[in-house]
Amino acid sequence: MAKQFLSGNEAFAYGIRLARPQVISAYPITPQTIVVEKLSEMVEDNSLRAEFIHVESEHSALSCAIGASAVGARAFTATSSQGLLYMAECLTYAAGGRFPIVMMNANRSTALPWNIYGDQRDSLSLLDCGWIQAYAENAQESLDLALMSYYIAEHKAVSTPFMANLDGFVLTHTYEVVEVPEAEEADLFLQPYKTENKLDLSNPRNLAFSVGPDHNTAFKYKEHLGILRAKDAISEAEDKFSKIFGREYTGLIETYQTEDAEYIIITLGSIAGLVRETVDQLREKGEKVGLLRIRYMRPFPNEEIATAVKNAKAIGVLEKDISFGNEGTVFTNVNSALQKAGLSVPSSNFIGGLGGRNISAQEIEDIFDALRLEKSTISFLGMGGNQP
C-alpha cells in the first residue's frame, strides 16, 4: 500500500481503477472533470484495461453505462449539478433495470443563478430515483468508497446503482495524503462482476419491458427491497474491507462524542470535519456536544439516527440544501426517523453553504448556542434570523 498526495477527484479515480471497470462513459463537467481525465490517462497508459467512451452529453453517458451493464459489463460514469439533472430520466431506467452502475457525482449548486461551487442540492433533489446514495468526507474515504461501491451495488441481494457524492471543490479539488491499495489487495476484496441480469444470446431474456399496474407495483417493491438490503451489504463490505486494508468504516452513519452529548449536530459530507474540530474545542470547555455524520442517505439510517440522539436535549441538522417552500431535505428525513421512533427531541434546521458559501467555525459554535435554547427553528446561515 503506497501513500500519495491526491485530490478527492484523483483519489476516487484511483479507487475506480482498482475496481477494474470494463466500460467508462465520459462527459466532463466542472468540478467532476478531473475524474474522467485521470481515468482516460490510466486507460491510455494501460494501467486500466477498459473501453473509454467519449459521449456527447450526460444523458448519453448514463445511457451508455446502462447499455454496458445490460450486457454484463462493470460500468462507471461521473457527473455534477446540471449534468446530473440532465441524467434524471436515465436514473430511473438504471434503477428499475437493477443495473449496478457506479457513478460519482461532484456535488455542485444548480442554476439559476449560474454557479460552479459546491452545495448538495443536485443529488438530494434526486433521492427518490432508486439509487443508493453515499457522501464522502475526505479523499481517503472517496477512494475507499469507489472500491466498496461496486461490492455493494453488485451484491446479489442488492443489484442497485450506486451514486457516490463528493463535495465540489472543497473535496474534489483539495489535496491530502491518501493510502492507495495494491491491485492484488483490491482483487482479493472485489471479485469480477458476474450477473444473470443481462442480455445473453445463450440464455435469452427480456429486459426493460413494459408492464401493467399490478406487475409494476411488484417490480417497484422489489426495487425498494434492494435498497433496504443494501444496509446488510454495506456492513458485509466494510467488514471485508477492514480485514484486507485495515481501515474501518461505521455503516450508514458515523457518530462522534454522542454517547453523553446533550446537543448534537447532524450533517453529511466534508463539513463534518469542521464540526468535529468544533466539538473537540467545546468539549475542552466542558460542553457536552457531539456530531452525527450521515454517510448514506439511501438506504436512510432511521434506526441508527434515533438510537444515537435519543438522550439528547436538542439536535440540529446542518445541510447544504433546501427544498424550496418547505425545509432542508435532510431535515425532513431526520424528523421522520425521530417520529417513527417516538422521540420528541427538539430539532432545528440550519441551511448553509448554498452556492459554495463558506461555513465558519464560529457559525458551528453559534449552532450549538442556538440548540441550547431547546427550540425547533429553521435558519439560513448568514441571513440573520429564522425563517418567517
Helix residue ranges per DSSP H, 160-212: 183-189
> How far apart are alpha carbons 380 and 359 in whole angstroms?
11
Q: Is residue 388 part of a domain?
A: no
Residues near 105 by beta carbon (within 8 Å), at least 6 away in sequence: 32, 78, 79, 80, 84, 122, 123, 163, 164, 165, 166
SS3 category, 262: coil
Phi-psi map region of 355: left, alpha, beta (phi>0 left; psi -120 to 50 alpha): left
State which of 198, 216, 245 marks the end of a domain. Answer: 245
Residues in the chain: 388
Express as a percent the part of the chain with pLDDT over 90. 94
Amino acid occupying residue 243? K
Q: Is residue 385 part of a domain?
A: no
For 275-296, write each residue's pLDDT tens digit: 999 999 999 999 999 999 999 9
Yes or no: say if 115 and 355 are a contact pair by the CB < 8 Å rule: yes
The pLDDT, as a whole number, for residue 336 is 98
* Number of domain units in the chain: 2
The pLDDT, as a whole number, for residue 201 is 81
Helix residue ranges per DSSP H, 178-212: 183-189
Mean per-residue pLDDT, 45-60: 97
Domain CATH for 159 = 3.40.50.970
Q: Is residue 386 part of a domain?
A: no
For 235-258, write each residue's pLDDT tens digit: 999 999 999 999 999 999 999 999
Are 76 and 174 part of one and the same domain? yes
What does the mean pLDDT of the chain come to? 96
Q: Is residue 333 part of a domain?
A: yes
Are 224 and 268 part of one and the same domain? no
> Can the peptide bond before residue 113 be classed as cis, meaning omega within 30 degrees of 0?
yes
The pLDDT, as a whole number, for residue 79 is 98
Q: Is residue 387 part of a domain?
A: no
Q: Is residue 132 part of a domain?
A: yes
The model's confidence at residue 388, banded by pLDDT at 50, 70 and 90, is very low
CA-derived radius of gyration, the chain:
21
Are 188 and 263 part of one and the same domain? no
Yes or no: say if 286 and 236 are a contact pair by the CB < 8 Å rule: no
383 has pLDDT over 50: yes
> How far apart are alpha carbons 6 and 25 in whole angstroms?
23
Are 317 and 335 part of one and the same domain? yes
In 3D space, the residue among 52, 271, 11, 233 whose CA is nearest the CA of residue 141 turns out to be 11
> How far apart are alpha carbons 65 and 26 in whole angstroms?
10
> How far apart are alpha carbons 229 and 246 in whole angstroms?
25
For 179-228, write each residue's pLDDT tens digit: 999 999 999 999 999 998 888 888 887 888 899 998 999 999 999 999 99
Are 226 and 288 part of one and the same domain? no
Are 38 and 154 part of one and the same domain? yes
Max Cα distance, the chain (Å): 69
State which of 216, 245, 274 marks the end of a domain. Answer: 245
> Domain containing 61: what range?
2-245
386 has pLDDT over 70: no
Are 72 and 184 part of one and the same domain? yes
9 has pLDDT over 50: yes
Are 329 and 205 part of one and the same domain? no
387 has pLDDT over 70: no
Q: Is residue 53 part of a domain?
A: yes
Are 101 and 73 part of one and the same domain? yes
Q: Is residue 258 part of a domain?
A: yes
State which of 199, 226, 245 marks the end of a domain. Answer: 245
Are 78 and 212 part of one and the same domain? yes
Question: Is the pTM for the entire model greater than 0.95?
Answer: yes
Are 185 and 293 part of one and the same domain? no
Domain CATH for 324 = 3.40.50.920
Are 232 and 299 part of one and the same domain? no
